[in-house]
Structure 1
Amino acid sequence: MSKLVIVESPAKARTISGYLGSDYSVEASVGHIRDLPQPSELPASMKKGPYAKFSVDIEAGFEPYYVIDPDKKKKVAELKKLLKEADELLLATDEDREGEAIAWHLNEVLKPKVPVKRMVFHEITPEAIARALDNPRQLDAQLVDAQESRRILDRLVGYEVSPLLWRKVSPGLSAGRVQSVATRLVVSRERERMAFVAASYWDVTAVFAKEKQDFSAKLTALDSVRVAAGRDFDDAGKLTAKAAKEGVRALGKDDAEQLAAALEGADATVASVETKPYTRRPAAPFTTSTLQQEASRKLRMSSRDAMRTAQSLYENGYITYMRTDSTNLSEQAVSAARSQIREMYGQESLPDKPRLYATKSKGAQEAHEAIRPAGDHFRTPAQVKGDLTASQFALYELIWKRTVASQMADARGQTASVRVNVGVAGAAGAREATFAASGTIITFPGFMAVYQESADAKRYEDRENARLPEVKEGEALRTLEAAADGHATLPPPRYTEASLVKRMEELGIGRPSTYAATISTITDRGYVDRRGQALVPTWTAFSVVRLLEENLPELVDYDFTADMETELDRIASGEERRIEYLTRFWKGQEGRLGLEGQVESLGDIDAKAINSIDLGEGVVLRVGRYGPYVQEEREGAEARNASVPDSIAPDELTLAKARELLDKSSFDGRELGVDPETGRKVLAKAGRFGPYVTDVPKEGEVALTPTGRPSKKPPKPRTASLFSSMALESVTLEDALKLLSLPRVVGDDGDETILAHNGRYGPYLTRGKDSRSLASEDEIFTVTLDQAKELFAQPKQRRGATAKEPLRELGTDPVAGVTVLLKDGRFGPYVTDGTTNASLRREDDPLTITPERAYELLADRRAKGPAKKPARKKASAKTSSKTASKSASKTASGKSASKSASGKASSSKAASKAASGTTASGKAASAGKASTKSAGAKASASKTGAAKTASSKAAAKKSAARSSAAAAAKDEK
């Protein structure tokens, strides 16, 4: 007999099993085993009942209906088999709401007949596991209630509001309890940028000298009247009320240049010298939010990548649990940090007492520690470098530095501020100009020897920190030079992932564990694009936010959304009952409609108004079925339309830019000449997808079929997009004929012809079904056959990707005789010999995989041969209903009425997708549906495929003949 320990992930199971004896069997559930299904996946008998709309019975205490993920049925069977051989079950999932819910679902599905205990820990180390075994507890029903409430809230909001977006904005969109508010934040910032009016102002910088030392200073006042800086202007381009009240003077170009000329060689006097002691405290240890922010700023990691990397570090025992909003450190952690500081940086870097930090985030509730290196003695970055991938090492080093620095002494030094007066003899109407400079000298670095916290970029923050000579008040200086500089005020900066996470945390929107998923969702749904690190809202996001603001304002109200998180916290602490809160949210209460009543009371929403933004003078931006476009209504004439390219951000679409697009769209083309081979006229035109060239079939010209016979269809023009280096106004006939000749035959490589193309995503080569990108458009006409062969000999990369360094070299494969590498790919780690790739299995740890195991994986992959694409077949409704019915782990009537040690759950990933109705179980149920097709369906599919072969071939030929540029020209017409 043994004790069965169940955790979420295989990596976590491997690490923990190494710390436990032979009496313990450690297995992974691989995340959630069941969830709310999509209503379409419900059994046929339930599709017209109370569960039909949400898979939740609204009228019966918001009773959820769960199904086992079809992909997890085998896993559940394995766990049940192992449980029969065990005398105790230890549920060791993460100690948060999601982990508690996973444990509860396991308990409900496995129905153990042996004692069940809840085992919790915040780090995976031998000491922490031993403490957890000594202090088990029971399942926390209140945590499970809070998680289930969150899951049901997300389902209600997503399924009730998303159909409204489908009807009024665009099919396939989604709304969500947190994602819609995050989208509103990004849209609101872009609106500020669109309304922003730049103001111009000038300043003067002078260089002063004392003997052989010099320093620069900025003009701050003229005759004691302060000179305006960027921060003195508002977003309307005018002086702020405060600046106007102070009588601040804004310099123009003429005044600034007069002052710079008058300052050359002028005598200057030190008006004042002020010295102050400088002290800076270290930042608190990482929470989930601050880790995501710093990983974004310092490591350029997205929130999703940061959390994925942190998860792997936690599961392999390198850091503590990575989902927390606590800045507390345990006594063991403080002791470990102080010991390491003393050893590595000396006693003077160690404060007399340990530092304590208070959590400042709104609504913080999790009971974990801050994120720190695992163990009672921290491993230094140098000690773990050889065991981690590059991204894992970078994040571990960041966490180690932040943790150690948080317990170190303050940085100390001095700041000096100097003011210098210079006579300007009436220049710009002033007698005297005052300049200022400041500097900081660090006398004791303290924590700064290890780590300094990054900050978001600020508008108009004075970052100058001049090196100042030792000067005294009244001392004379020489003016070496002076220069006038013109400036324009800057619009509010767009959100980055770091600043958006910070703002959401300040407002109390969402929870640390949801930030990465929320940002991924609004990006994947097409509400946000990226420009470098900046998050730019799409026009679709403007329409969605406007619809919600005008019709369901509570759902995008920051305080209301934060209050929802507070209510979930109250449920978790037992201060609020789940059913009562959900009833208030859905049904409403006295004086306030619930979500159900708000949606039902909506009148007819004007979709055209929702999808329109007035740019002025009769020009309107509209979000249409095929994307955004500008429209100009003209009295007595047909309206002009022009598509808005994706490259134009919302704040860049000014009235002038819109008119430019309209003018280009109405441009009928510039005639370049006649093609001497075909006799056709060649034109240069502006299209939806950019400028292109085309030829015009001659009058009476007859098209030919592939066999050379006359066709009944009219001849088609050839089209080709211009290179990025070409301009519509200057492209020549010679350029056009070269473009229209594409694709270019580079040569034959054995049995295949290599062609050079210009595509939507840039220049590339094709050899049969294989392709490779070219570095520049010019290479389309210059690449040789040998160069092309060399490109095809290299491994194919995803578009826009750069080659990644291999994680490890594993030796020479005994079969292929070539070096085997371990690499990190799009779908996870894999081994490769340069020709064959083999993904690692769940039980394979990239940190510890042996060369022999790599050779075995490659041999198995070679034996299987090339992967075959499964044929698409249509499942019968009858079969899918049976599958969904069998997938259900319980029925509505069979749910336990008691929750003494219970609750329910769904995965955080599924919760983040609730708005679209796409859950883990929903997807899996759909997969199960496809895999249980009847023999009759297979036969039918086979007959249908045979009957359609001829038409499919014809369609394929027709599709191949149509280039993307031709499609663009057709859309334009």
Structure 2
Amino acid sequence: MAGSGRKLVIVESPAKARKIGEYLGKEYQVDASVGHIRDLPNPSELPADMKKGPYGRFAIDVEHDFEPYYVVDPDKKKKVRELKAALKESDELLLATDEDREGEAIAWHLLEVLQPKVPVRRMVFHEITREAIQRAANDTRELDTRLVDAQETRRVLDRLYGYEVSPVLWRKVRQGLSAGRVQSVATRMVVERERERMAFRAADYWDVEGEFAPEGSGGQAFTARLSTVDGDKVATGRDFDDRGVLRTRGARHLDAAAATAIAEGTRSAAVAVRSVTEKPYTRRPSAPFTTSTLQQEASRKLRMNSQTTMRTAQRLYENGYITYMRTDSTTLSQSAISAARGQARDLYGADFIPDSPRSYGSKSKNAQEAHEAVRPAGDSFRTPAQVAGELQGQEYALYELIWKRTVASQMADAKGSTATVRLVASLPEGHGAGEAEYSASGTVITFRGFLAAYEEGRDEDRYGSREDSERRLPKLSEGVVLDVLAADAQGHQTSPPARYTEATLVKALEEKGIGRPSTYAATVGTIQDRGYVHSRGTALVPTWLAFAVTRLLEEHFSRLVDYDFTASMEEDLDRIARGDEQRVAWLHRFYFGSEATDAEGLRHLVEDLGDIDAKGVSTVDIGDGIVVRVGRYGPYVEDTTQGQEEGSPRRRATVPDEIAPDEMTPEKGRELLAQAAEDGRVLGQDPDTGRDIIARSGRFGPYVTEVIEDEEGTKKKPKPRTASLFADMDLATIDLETALRLLSLPRVVGTDPETGEEITAQNGRYGPYLKKGSDSRSLSSEQQLFDISLEEALAIYAQPKQRGRRAAAPPLKELGEDPISGKPVVVKDGRFGPYVTDGETNATLRKGDDPEAIAPERGYELLAEKRAKGPTTRKRSSTRKSGAKGTKARR
């Protein structure tokens, strides 16, 4: 009860609450809010009396200082009641959420909802250790409303951006798509890299590699590569541009014949050392981890994606193993520096630490130095061996990575020397040149320094070079004669720009100052979940849908996907967090525009959409008249040179998911078109009509149909008979006899001798069934359509007709995992007809959707459309006041 001296501490997660509770005394009660307790609702969830008011469109009143309308999440109402009850028993409230904008906003929302009548303090810490928690409980501060303003500005900004731009994508590209301030820019980066690959033209070039050894010594052999011919530099991959054109002036482009001639001449040439140069080699350790570099290195070394890395780091932080994992600072506290230097000295020796501690500056464009780098927690670090009994799997691997990087960051430089030797070969006549020079380099590490603890991983090098690789050359001096052990011509081809991986995309976003390191994992996950990007190994490959979305945004909302503009928004949010910019003024300029700078606002940009050519933005020109279009049911290739005659259809074919955009050449497009034409396989002729019977694959699955030619004297062309294949039939093996049986449906089974009514077997929208007048009875299998006898049919009709609720029926069809929710999608037969569901969202099939032949992509699209519409639940009037407007008291 109040007056007992009890203090309530609120953190975000139950794991943090348990750990912190161990470090505080009995007078503290530690509870968790489980993240945010309030947020902006979907407009469809607003109370009925607000839907037509100023909050109705965004849950934000844009005309009155962009005032947000917050509601307590329905799942958090019980938690709020528990926190209020605990607060009544307390004399003091300590808000101990994370010390960043999001954490500060969670604390502010807690204040707004709980309305405490007791003193409130803000408790902050960067690691969960006994010393840090007890120190934080005694050294508190006030809530920083500037950080809250910055977070609220970002939340309002993202709501306005998404709710204004996403509907444009729905109308002009496809239902259910989303646009976002960072996700759209990240998608554009991946698409631009793929465009570079599509425009890339490979160049062939040759060089020569030789194996040499000091004459007659039998000593150490080494390899050297041809570097110049008669004084001209030999062209390598770096000397060609992406169009395959040699761009380095004076470089000699060797072909197979020239390289072979030089190799042959080298094998019989006199070879001697022309020069030997040696220079000191020094390499410094990398800075301690930031959020971004942790994600990059975990991707390279541990094959962990960004989301997995952040989830694992969150658990390590909450359980007291590492410091706060959302930071763009490379700074270490004095105690951490002492701990790292001490462990390096104990494990490797005094020579492995420099005389003075190392400090690092951040390379991030918008770095905030409020936190430390990501490091092991505590004033003294636990080694991986000491936590091996407590951590396993990914948690242990990530902790070990963080520990190694932190300790190595305070260790001495690696030292050594790099030697470069140049060899000259005087070629015999008739070998295309008079003199060939070969070169080789080798680095010898004489003192490993920080490399004894850790070496940073490397991203794939487009040209295959390996700088700083350790390689020892034999002792050589100028004039030494060499034996030629081998010399071979080698052909190469230039490589296109490498696709982004999660690591390199995160690195590029950080370098451009786009987004925040704490959001990169969510951003990469979002563009994959939305179907804009998929993974091929570690590479991120954009889909054709991403091309359509990116083109629309580039052509009609270029400012919103401009890299510099997006980075400037992050800088402006930083200014709001520092108090140098006002939230309302900035949002007004962004949404309504600025007369002073003549900049259009978001509202104006989305007002006139008439000039957006929906078909144009969804079309990618491959060349030679071949285009890829993004259609309602997925991408397809089309030959625009065909079907020029009026009324004549153009050739089209579905583009398989496994074909990446840079692999879609005109030749590949025509191959798909030819294959699609073959899919319309003629099975034979119907002996009764003489018409061709064709089996082909359609939008809703494989089927058979008859071909009806135009007949003279007929005004209206009759509709061809069509029938879907049964689930156990194969399009490749179906024969004419089976096709004719399918086309013969419905089949007359016989006549009921009592009523005189005809009984037919039919294949309908909900599966196979019998029909007698208006009385229908389901069949258990499609095969019964052909096999069921009159006696069996009469026996079915003799049974009472089932009414009311039945036992749950098995799914009509399984479609696979939904790309957004990741849950299995099935087709079910419901009270109001068939529908698709992933267990969370249900979407009724439309007219023309065959429940047993529906394609997975169609199912996913229906679910996406339903999600985009939002929930349609009805609320009682007594629950309509669940929300509370954001207050301006802190302004």
In the alignment, the residues of structure 2 paired with residue 292 and residue 500 of structure 1 have an alpha-carbon distance, to the nearest angstrom, of 11
> Could you say which residue in structure 2 is the equivalent of 1:338?
341
Matched AA of 2:408? A
Counterparts of residues 618-697 of structure 1 (less than 5 Å): 618-633=625-640, 634=642, 635-636=644-645, 637-667=648-678, 692-696=732-736, 697=738
Matched AA of 1:140? D
Cα offsets for 1:272-298 (capped at 9, x unmatched): 111111110000000000000000000
Counterparts of residues 27-176 of structure 1 (less than 5 Å): 27-176=31-180
Pairing 1:440–2:451 present: no
Pairing 1:897–2:888 present: yes
Partner of 1:593, secondary structure, is coil
In the alignment, the residues of structure 2 paired with residue 270 and residue 686 of structure 1 have an alpha-carbon distance, to the nearest angstrom, of 68
Matched AA of 2:23? Y
Matched AA of 2:42? Q
Contact 1:341 1:350 in 2 (8 A): yes
In the alignment, the residues of structure 2 paired with residue 384 and residue 708 of structure 1 have an alpha-carbon distance, to the nearest angstrom, of 78
> Could you say which residue in structure 2 is the equivalent of 1:318?
321
In the alignment, the residues of structure 2 paired with residue 100 and residue 394 of structure 1 have an alpha-carbon distance, to the nearest angstrom, of 31
Residues 877 and 170 (structure 1), Cα distance of their counterparts in 2 relative to 1, 3 Å cut: closer
Using the TM superposition, give the Cα deviation of residue 258 of structure 1 relative to its aligned residue in structure 2, in angstroms: 1.3
> Could you say which residue in structure 2 is the equivalent of 1:865?
none
Matched AA of 2:628? L
Matched AA of 1:475? V
Residues 596 and 363 (structure 1), Cα distance of their counterparts in 2 relative to 1, 3 Å cut: same
In the alignment, the residues of structure 2 paired with residue 896 and residue 624 of structure 1 have an alpha-carbon distance, to the nearest angstrom, of 46
Matched AA of 1:319? I
Using the TM superposition, give the Cα deviation of residue 457 of structure 1 relative to its aligned residue in structure 2, in angstroms: 1.3
In the alignment, the residues of structure 1 paired with residue 325 and residue 584 of structure 2 have an alpha-carbon distance, to the nearest angstrom, of 31
Matched AA of 2:488? A
In the alignment, the residues of structure 2 paired with residue 178 and residue 70 of structure 1 have an alpha-carbon distance, to the nearest angstrom, of 28
Counterparts of residues 524-673 of structure 1 (less than 5 Å): 524-590=529-595, 591-633=598-640, 634=642, 635-636=644-645, 637-667=648-678
Matched AA of 1:383? Q
Using the TM superposition, give the Cα deviation of residue 692 of structure 1 relative to its aligned residue in structure 2, in angstroms: 3.6
Aligned residue pair count = 744
Counterparts of residues 930-941 of structure 1 (less than 5 Å): none
Residues 555 and 799 (structure 1), Cα distance of their counterparts in 2 relative to 1, 3 Å cut: closer
Partner of 2:496, secondary structure, is coil
Partner of 1:193, secondary structure, is helix
> Could you say which residue in structure 2 is the equivalent of 1:378?
381
Partner of 2:402, secondary structure, is helix
Contact 2:274 2:423 in 1 (8 A): yes
**TM-score computed with the length of structure 2 as normaliser:** 0.80
Contact 1:683 1:693 in 2 (8 A): no
Residues 461 and 668 (structure 1), Cα distance of their counterparts in 2 relative to 1, 3 Å cut: closer
Pairing 1:482–2:493 present: no
Using the TM superposition, give the Cα deviation of residue 338 of structure 1 relative to its aligned residue in structure 2, in angstroms: 1.0
The one of 365, 377, 401 aligned to 1:398: 401
Contact 2:269 2:428 in 1 (8 A): no
> Could you say which residue in structure 2 is the equivalent of 1:496?
501
Partner of 2:734, secondary structure, is strand
Cα offsets for 1:186-245 (capped at 9, x unmatched): 0000000000000001111110012222111111110111100000000000011xx12x
In the alignment, the residues of structure 2 paired with residue 151 and residue 145 of structure 1 have an alpha-carbon distance, to the nearest angstrom, of 10
Residues 209 and 683 (structure 1), Cα distance of their counterparts in 2 relative to 1, 3 Å cut: farther
Residues 174 and 423 (structure 1), Cα distance of their counterparts in 2 relative to 1, 3 Å cut: same
In the alignment, the residues of structure 2 paired with residue 622 and residue 202 of structure 1 have an alpha-carbon distance, to the nearest angstrom, of 39
> Could you say which residue in structure 2 is the equivalent of 1:290?
293
Cα offsets for 1:512-566 (capped at 9, x unmatched): 1110011111010000011011000011111111111110111100000000000
Cα offsets for 1:447-498 (capped at 9, x unmatched): 0001001121121142276431111111000101111111110000000000
> Could you say which residue in structure 1 is the equivalent of 2:359?
356
What CA RMSD, in Å, does the superposition of the two structures yield over aligned residues? 3.0
Residues 465 and 423 (structure 1), Cα distance of their counterparts in 2 relative to 1, 3 Å cut: farther
Partner of 2:241, secondary structure, is coil
Using the TM superposition, give the Cα deviation of residue 445 of structure 1 relative to its aligned residue in structure 2, in angstroms: 0.5
Using the TM superposition, give the Cα deviation of residue 602 of structure 1 relative to its aligned residue in structure 2, in angstroms: 4.1
Contact 1:122 1:320 in 2 (8 A): yes
> Could you say which residue in structure 1 is the equivalent of 2:723?
none
In the alignment, the residues of structure 2 paired with residue 10 and residue 548 of structure 1 have an alpha-carbon distance, to the nearest angstrom, of 41
In the alignment, the residues of structure 2 paired with residue 668 and residue 33 of structure 1 have an alpha-carbon distance, to the nearest angstrom, of 55
Partner of 2:372, secondary structure, is coil
Cα offsets for 1:291-319 (capped at 9, x unmatched): 00000000001100000000000000000
List alignment gaps of at least 5 residues for structure 2.
686-691, 703-730, 752-758, 766-781, 784-808, 825-865
Pairing 1:219–2:259 present: no
Residues 668 and 9 (structure 1), Cα distance of their counterparts in 2 relative to 1, 3 Å cut: closer
Counterparts of residues 479-878 of structure 1 (less than 5 Å): 479-590=484-595, 591-633=598-640, 634=642, 635-636=644-645, 637-667=648-678, 692-696=732-736, 697=738, 699=740, 702-703=744-745, 711=760
Using the TM superposition, give the Cα deviation of residue 606 of structure 1 relative to its aligned residue in structure 2, in angstroms: 0.9
Residues 57 and 669 (structure 1), Cα distance of their counterparts in 2 relative to 1, 3 Å cut: closer
Contact 2:444 2:471 in 1 (8 A): no
Counterparts of residues 2-41 of structure 1 (less than 5 Å): 2-41=6-45
In the alignment, the residues of structure 1 paired with residue 246 and residue 504 of structure 2 have an alpha-carbon distance, to the nearest angstrom, of 27
* Structure having greater relative contact order (Cα 8 Å, sep ≥ 6): 1
Partner of 1:251, secondary structure, is coil
Residues 180 and 883 (structure 1), Cα distance of their counterparts in 2 relative to 1, 3 Å cut: farther
> Could you say which residue in structure 2 is the equivalent of 1:880?
875
Using the TM superposition, give the Cα deviation of residue 266 of structure 1 relative to its aligned residue in structure 2, in angstroms: 2.9
In the alignment, the residues of structure 2 paired with residue 263 and residue 708 of structure 1 have an alpha-carbon distance, to the nearest angstrom, of 92
**TM-score computed with the length of structure 1 as normaliser:** 0.73
Contact 1:685 1:692 in 2 (8 A): no
In the alignment, the residues of structure 2 paired with residue 281 and residue 519 of structure 1 have an alpha-carbon distance, to the nearest angstrom, of 31
Alignment identity in percent? 60
In the alignment, the residues of structure 2 paired with residue 458 and residue 168 of structure 1 have an alpha-carbon distance, to the nearest angstrom, of 39
In the alignment, the residues of structure 1 paired with residue 137 and residue 201 of structure 2 have an alpha-carbon distance, to the nearest angstrom, of 63
Structure 1 stretch displaced more, 591-600 or 277-286: 591-600
> Could you say which residue in structure 2 is the equivalent of 1:304?
307
Partner of 2:41, secondary structure, is coil
Matched AA of 2:24? L
Partner of 2:15, secondary structure, is helix
Cα offsets for 1:245-277 (capped at 9, x unmatched): xx1001001111111222224321001111111
Partner of 1:120, secondary structure, is coil
Contact 1:42 1:884 in 2 (8 A): no
In the alignment, the residues of structure 1 paired with residue 153 and residue 876 of structure 2 have an alpha-carbon distance, to the nearest angstrom, of 28
Partner of 2:875, secondary structure, is helix
Using the TM superposition, give the Cα deviation of residue 127 of structure 1 relative to its aligned residue in structure 2, in angstroms: 1.0
Matched AA of 1:559? D
Residues 427 and 31 (structure 1), Cα distance of their counterparts in 2 relative to 1, 3 Å cut: farther
Instruction: Answer 1 or 2: which has greater helix percent.
Output: 1
> Could you say which residue in structure 1 is the equivalent of 2:832?
none
In the alignment, the residues of structure 1 paired with residue 871 and residue 546 of structure 2 have an alpha-carbon distance, to the nearest angstrom, of 37
Contact 2:204 2:493 in 1 (8 A): yes
Using the TM superposition, give the Cα deviation of residue 426 of structure 1 relative to its aligned residue in structure 2, in angstroms: 3.5
Contact 1:667 1:686 in 2 (8 A): no
In the alignment, the residues of structure 2 paired with residue 521 and residue 343 of structure 1 have an alpha-carbon distance, to the nearest angstrom, of 45
Contact 1:295 1:301 in 2 (8 A): yes
